[in-house]
Structure 1
Amino acid sequence: MLGLQNEKNQLEDSVRDLQNNTDVEENTIHARRITLDPNTAHPRIRLSAHNTMMITSREVQDVPDHPGRFDVDLAVVGTSGFSTGRHYWEVSVAGRLCYHLGVASESSKRKGAIMYNPTNGFWTIVLNRQGQYKAVDNSLVVIPVQTQPLILGILLDYKQGKISFFDAGARTHMYSFVGQRFTDKIYPFINFCVDDVESQTPIVSLSPRSPDWIK
């Protein structure tokens, strides 16, 4: 009987350790510098050698018509998608008068005109030429800000179905999409604003600082 009790105690300890490890992993934020997938970039988007910086070009580049390539919107998605865990990255938008970025699902539309909203697999915010920040939720939501962020932080919590946007410089929360249900991989997404298409100010993926300040 004593042997069986010891085995039971050991099994309970093992289950408890596994649960603790799972809790730690689920609460861990994995911060990384994202790279952009050249096979998805619109032919007028030019990427840097390491695929971390993007600008627009007047010229349409001669690139293969990859199935995942945007052909109308000046957009691109990240090289790596996520299907589990919590992931954080930062993007420099300093000097941009308008932009549109966030995340996109693997199955989201890439060809033709795109309706951006969570139903179609896009969770994004925009800065328009009027200086307004809006979340492109199922309806547009105005995001009040005191000053324009120079660096945006994006946090994807896959299991919780949550995407949060931060002013990473000020360490303040801007907006969160909550209660989402993800069914495939989720990728970082960046779309140049057509109203600012001639600007040569790049959008740059940065090596993020520690996200320990995020609650």
Structure 2
Amino acid sequence: MEATRRRMSLREDLTCPICYELFTDPVMLGCMHHYCKGCITAFWRRARGPVSCPQCRREFPSKSFQTNYLVVGMVEKVKTRSTESYQRTMQKKLKDSLESHLTKKEDFLNKIRRNEEKMDIVKRAGTKLQDRVKEEFQALHQVLLSEEMAMLEQLRVEEEKMLGELGRHLEELKGAVRNLEESITALQQNIDSMENSGLEEIPEGDPGPALQLNNEPEIDVERENGKYLGPLQYMIWRKMYKLLKPGLARLTFDPETAHPNLLLSRDRTAVVECDEVQLYEPSPRRFSQCVNLLAAQGFDSGRHYWEVGVRGKTKWDLGVALESVDRKARVKLCPENGYWTLRLRRGREYSAGTQPGTPLRLTGAPCRIGVLLDCEERRVSFYGADDMVLLYSFVRGPPGKVYPFFSTCFSDRGQNAAPMRLLSLDL
């Protein structure tokens, strides 16, 4: 509506006051009023008297005017835009623009809906995670509360036992004192009688009953209280650690899956790549193309966490592998081939084993890598175990039984000769 009003106002401004049509060959008089050249010429030809402006009546010494090319251009534009072809062209452009705007609006509305859905997902996930965190801490609080109550009850029972023994012995001592006081009184009376009578009347002495007392309780307060003065937090932590779910899994390397160039420690918790081929028994489960191996323990249910020591290594791969992976072929370590892994190359380039790989930016070089496997949620997560920072998480994890997977990579003439270790905590 506003645009229409502006067009009508412009058309009125470009209309000749004599013929009431758009200017034709517009000319400007000395008074700045505009007319069609033919209209003002005819007006002056018919007029009697001095030459003047039809609008303001200003008189001029002669019939003179000049062409206003700016007005000429504006009139031509208005005339052009008034044609049917121009109107059709503009209408099409406007419709196209309207359609484009409607499409963009729908696109933005779809983005708004997707963002709102994501916000709802984040809120629901946040609520679920909050409940889970509260549940985990509530379990820890319950363990601490139970241990506190048990220890306080044990302390109370031991205190009552010591106080009971001491109390009973105290009563025995008080009874002995009373008996002694009675004997002392009797003896004193006998002495007084002796002083007031002759020697022939001296009574026979009565030493009184013999006192029989139980041995004094042997109670060493310092020794009894020593267990409560020790490292309580450490003692409780040891108990809590054994209740952690998941706790640190105790893994060992499986020599039956180890590549022939991998050397295992006696306890099968450390492995290095070496030039000398090891005399392993032939096995269809053995990796033959790459210096890989699996842990002896496999998982298909529950939640499991283990840590791998990688201090001093410049490259490695680790994670989990399906039980069914091809051990005789050289393949890319990615979920499509049955591997969910994290990798290090050139001492500083970390990436997740996706297809293609996902580069990771780490602030430092972790000496321990933690792996959390959740079989129910099919999730595999990797942590910098030094400070438990999440490095990467596969949200679509393995669908079946998996084994912890390891690759030492080649030693590179000693640059990557450090062993890979399975870490445990002995309590």
TM-score (norm 2): 0.41
Q: 1:143 to 1:180 in 2, by over 3 A?
A: same
Q: Does 1:97 align with 2:304?
A: no
Trace 1:81-120 onto structure 2 (pairs within 5 A).
Answer: 81-120=298-337
2: CA distance, partners of 1:115 / 1:190: 14
Matched residues, percent identical?
36
Conserved? CA contact 2:322–2:398, under 8 Å: no
RCO higher in structure (CA 8 A, sep ≥6) = 1
State how many pairs are aligned.
Answer: 183
Matching residue within 131, 156, 160 for 2:373: 156
- State whether residues 156 and 163 of structure 1, in contact with CA within 8 Å, keep that contact through their aligned partners in structure 2: yes
Aligned pair in 2 of structure 1 residues 147, 113: CA closer, same or farther (>3 Å)? same
Map of 1:36 onto structure 2:
253
Aligned match for 1:193, one of 409, 419, 424: 409
Shift of residue 75, structure 1, vs aligned partner? 0.6
Misfit runs of 4+, over 6 Å: none
CA distance in 1, matches of 2:256, 2:348: 31
Q: Aligned equivalents of 1:63 and 1:143: distance in 2?
A: 37
SS in 2 for 1:46: strand
CA distance in 1, matches of 2:279, 2:310: 27
State the partner residue of 1:207.
Answer: 424
Q: Which runs of 5+ in 1 are unaligned?
A: 1-23, 210-215
The structure having more radius of gyration, on CA atoms, is 2
Q: What is the correspondence of 1:13-162 to structure 2 with a 5 Å cutoff?
A: 28-129=245-346, 131-162=348-379
Q: Give the Cα separation in 1 of the matches to 2:403 and 2:255.
A: 14
Query: Over aligned residue pairs, what C-alpha RMSD do you find?
Result: 1.9
Amino acid at match of 2:404: P
Q: Output the CA distance in 1 between the equivalents of 2:305 and 2:375.
A: 11
Give the CA deviation at 1:208: 5.3
Please state how far the C-alpha of 1:181 moved relative to its aligned partner: 4.6
Q: Deviations over 1:117-155 (max 9, x none)?
A: 101110001100161100011320011100000000000
- Mind listing any 5+ residue stretches in structure 2 that lack a counterpart? 1-138, 140-243
What is the distance in 1 between the residues matched to 2:345 and 2:398?
28
**Separation (CA, whole Å) in 2 of partners of 1:31 and 1:197:** 33
For 1:36 and 1:42, locate their aligned partners in 2 and report how far apart those are by CA, in whole Å: 12
Structure 1 residue 197, shift from structure 2 partner? 6.6
Structure 2 residue matching 1:29: 3-state secondary structure: coil
Whichever structure has more strand as a proportion of its residues is 1
Greater helix share, structure number? 2
For residue 319 of structure 2, give the secondary structure of its aligned residue in structure 1.
strand
Cα distance in structure 1, aligned partners of 2:293 and 2:315: 16
Match for residue 394 of structure 2? 177
Partner AA of 1:174 in structure 2: L
* Contact residue 273 and residue 409 of structure 2 kept, 8 A: no
